[in-house]
Amino acid sequence: MFDTTLRDGDQMPGIELDLDEKLYIARLLDELRVDIIEAGFPASSRIDWEAVRRIKREASYARVAGLARANRRDVEAAAEAEADIIHVFIATSDIHMKHKLRMTREQVIEAAVDAVEYARSHGAYVLFSAEDATRSDPGFLVRVYRRVVEAGAEYINIPDTVGTATPWRMEWIVSLVRGSLPRWVRVDVHCHNDFGLATANTLAGVRAGADGVQVTVNGFGERGGNASLEEVVAALHFLMGRRTGVRMEMLTRVSREVARLFGVELPPNKPVTGLNAFAHEAGIHVHGVLANPATYEPMPPEAVGNTRRIVLGRHSGRAAVAHALRSMGFEPERGLVDYILERIKEYAPRMKKVDQDTLARWVREYYAARIPGAEAVAAGR
């Protein structure tokens, strides 16, 4: 598990994390047990340089990576910040080489090899990313990876930089690269979510033999964001039977804390950690969940630190009302349940939600109406 919330996530438009926020998030990630924290891009700012250095000193479990373009100055900055892993990258797609780098294929290989050798000479463990790998010529891509591995990179990453891969394309590319490199080379995938495929593409990469996944908390990152840590961890665990070592019961707390620090409100339908991820309102669903949660829950909410919510609203049925009454200490007798259901259907279209205070008021009204004289007492007559 390679988390890049503090580097790719920090590149989210409108977001500027300060050093204290970075240190706070790093502590959460370390406690969560991600294997690697990419703490920043040391050559880009003083804050990032300092963040890499401080987090490397403080982290008790995770190793710390620092990003560097394929030039000696950037590598030097990452080495001075004492990154455990120097993450060297350069673009390998024709569109990036021609219009952004204005470099030929041979110049790109030369720069990549030189930067990797230079990072190795500082004693760092080197990760190499071929930016825009999924839009690169596959033959050239394999050549680049082979050359950087010969130059001393023991760890490579295959980024889907603009999120244009499909799961079957990702599987094909990862198999090709994996099969062209010695088995001891560690291979990561790094997927973006421009088409909402980041989690699916990440899983496809793992299926094809990737050893690691690069993710961010809540999928925060450039444009449509990155593969989200909580979705990838939960899917690897519950759908593919893979162990990540991440403390899954911390996922919801970490997701919400990081959202708060980024100043971003999570959508209620956010998978795994959202407010509605385990919320049920429709009568048929509530009835099923109360009989056995597995009927409408793909994983136990407590396993990812989230909670089940039975929401009362226009779609509620008898089972939900009885459950709500019981949880508040009232006996759900039939007449009371019917009365509450009528009130909900009458009020729900105009109310955001039926809360406990409203429910308690309706219970009082019901009993007041049933006991002779009580109505007058309740009305103060």
Q: Nearest 10 degrees: CA dihedral of 22, 28, 30, 34? A: -100
367 Cβ partners below 8 Å, 6+ apart? 374
Which stretch in 6-14, 90-98, 289-297, 366-374 sits in contact with Mn ion by CB under 5 A? 6-14
Shortest spacing between CB 58 and Mn ion, in angstroms: 25
- Cβ proximity of 310 and 289 under 8 Å: yes
**Is 160 near Mn ion (CB under 5 A)?**
no
Number of residues that bind Mn ion (CB under 5 A): 1
Site for Mn ion in 107-136 (CB under 5 A): none
- Cβ proximity of 254 and 217 under 8 Å: yes
Which stretch in 8-16, 39-47, 86-94, 202-210 sits in contact with Mn ion by CB under 5 A? 8-16
Q: Looking at 1, 2, 8, 56, which residue binds Mn ion (CB under 5 A)?
A: 8
Shortest spacing between CB 285 and Mn ion, in angstroms: 37
257 Cβ partners below 8 Å, 6+ apart? 25, 28
Annotate each residue in 224-253 with x if it binds Mn ion (CB under 5 A) or - if it does not, as one string. ------------------------------
**Given the complex with Mn ion, which of 8 and 171 has the nearer CB atom?**
8
Which residue has the closest beta carbon to Mn ion? 8
80 Cβ partners below 8 Å, 6+ apart? 42, 49
**Given the complex with Mn ion, which of 12 and 272 has the nearer CB atom?**
12
- Cβ proximity of 219 and 192 under 8 Å: no
368 Cβ partners below 8 Å, 6+ apart? 374, 375, 377, 378
**Given the complex with Mn ion, which of 191 and 254 has the nearer CB atom?**
191
Question: What 3-state DSSP class applies to 187?
Answer: strand
Shortest spacing between CB 344 and Mn ion, in angstroms: 46
Which stretch in 7-15, 259-267, 273-281, 343-351 sits in contact with Mn ion by CB under 5 A? 7-15
**Given the complex with Mn ion, which of 219 and 301 has the nearer CB atom?**
219
Shortest spacing between CB 357 and Mn ion, in angstroms: 46
Shortest spacing between CB 159 and Mn ion, in angstroms: 6
Shortest spacing between CB 110 and Mn ion, in angstroms: 24
Question: What 3-state DSSP class applies to 6?
Answer: coil
Which stretch in 1-9, 83-91, 129-137, 197-205 sits in contact with Mn ion by CB under 5 A? 1-9
**Given the complex with Mn ion, which of 8 and 230 has the nearer CB atom?**
8
- Calpha distance 110→151 (Å, rounded): 11
- Cβ proximity of 148 and 177 under 8 Å: no
**Given the complex with Mn ion, which of 8 and 188 has the nearer CB atom?**
8
- Calpha distance 316→297 (Å, rounded): 18
Shortest spacing between CB 279 and Mn ion, in angstroms: 32
Locate tokens 């790719």: which residue?
8
How does DSSP classify residue 45? Answer: -
**Given the complex with Mn ion, which of 178 and 192 has the nearer CB atom?**
192
**Given the complex with Mn ion, which of 134 and 306 has the nearer CB atom?**
134
Q: Is the dihedral of CA 185, 186, 192, 198 positive or negative?
A: positive
Structure tokens that stand for 346 in this block? 């009458």
Shortest spacing between CB 342 and Mn ion, in angstroms: 53
**Given the complex with Mn ion, which of 8 and 74 has the nearer CB atom?**
8
- In the chain the beta strands, taken as DSSP E runs, fall at 2-3, 36-40, 63-69, 85-91, 125-131, 155-160, 186-191, 212-215, 279-280, 309-310
Which stretch in 2-10, 45-53, 193-201, 274-282 sits in contact with Mn ion by CB under 5 A? 2-10
Which stretch in 4-12, 31-39, 148-156, 276-284 sits in contact with Mn ion by CB under 5 A? 4-12
- Calpha distance 327→325 (Å, rounded): 5
Q: Which residues bind Mn ion (CB under 5 A)?
A: 8
